[in-house]
Amino acid sequence: MPDTGFSTACTRCPRLATFLEEVRQQHPDYYAKPVPPFGDASAKLLIVGLAPGYHGANASGRPFTGDFAGILLYETLYACGFSTAPVSRSVDDGLKLINCRITNAVKCLPPQNKPESSEINTCNTYLKTELQALKPGSVLLALGNIAHASIIKAMGLKLSQYKFGHGNEHVLPDLTLVDSYHCSRYNTQTRRLTADMFKAVMLQARAKIR
C-alpha cells in the first residue's frame, strides 16, 4: 500500500477518538481504531466508502468486512474479477483484491454512522494523499454522496461542477470518477440499489480503467 501518511493511532478528531475509546471498553475484542485502506498497492481502481461500520470494519479492521454492505460489495468485486473470493470474513482469511483497493472518506467509526463536516474535512488529507498516489488512468468509484464530495474536495475541484448521481461519470485530472449509490442495507432493501445495478456500475468503472 502506498505511504499515505495515515496512522491507526490517529486521534485528530476528538469526538471520534472518544467514541472509539468507549467502543473498546464495550467490545474489547473489536479492532476499534482508524481503519486503513485494503487491497492492491498498485491498484487502478480505488473504491471510496463513507466510514467503518460499527459491527463491520470497526470490529474486523478491514473495510466493509463483517457488515451487511460488505456482502454485496465483495460478491460484486469477485464477479467482476477484482477479488480472489466472494466473501470477506476477516483480515486473515486470505482474500486478496486484484487491481483494486478500498478506502473510506472517514477512517474512524462515527457515532450513528454520521461523521461531522469537520471530521470529514480533517480526514480528507489522508484521502488526498491516496489519490495523489494513484497512477494516471486510474478510476475512482464513489459509494454515496459523501464519498463523492470528499473525492472532489481532495482533488481541489469545485463540487458544483460535478453532480453526484448513480452511474454518473466525471473526468478529473488524470483520473475518472464513477458514482454509485452506497451498497448499504437501507439502499438495497428499499431497492434504490439492486445487485444488478451495482454490478453494472462496477463493470462501468472497470471499463474506464486505462
Q: What is the CATH number of the domain that holds 91?
A: 3.40.470.10
Domain presence at residue 67: yes
Q: Quick one: which of 131, 100, 164 has its CA closest to 6?
A: 131
The whole-angstrom separation of Cα 161 and Cα 172 is 11
Q: How many domains does the chain have?
A: 1
- Which three cell numbers mark 92? 486473515
Is 26 part of a structural domain of the chain?
Answer: yes
Question: Is 9 a domain residue?
Answer: no
Residue 3 has pLDDT above 70, yes or no: no
Q: Which domain holds residue 54?
A: 14-208
Average pLDDT, the chain: 96
Give the pLDDT of residue 4.
61
What is this structure's pTM?
0.96
Check the CA dihedral 203-52-64-137 and report its sign: positive
pLDDT of residue 6: 81
Q: Which amino acid is at 46?
A: L
d(Cα 12, Cα 5) in Å, to the nearest integer?
13
pLDDT at 103: 98
Q: What element of type H or E holds 177? A: strand 175-180
Note whether residue 2 is domain-resident.
Answer: no
Whether residue 7 lies inside any domain: the answer is no
Report the pLDDT averaged over residues 3-11: 81
Q: How many CA atoms lie within 13 A of 175 on its CB side?
A: 24
In a domain, 140, yes or no: yes
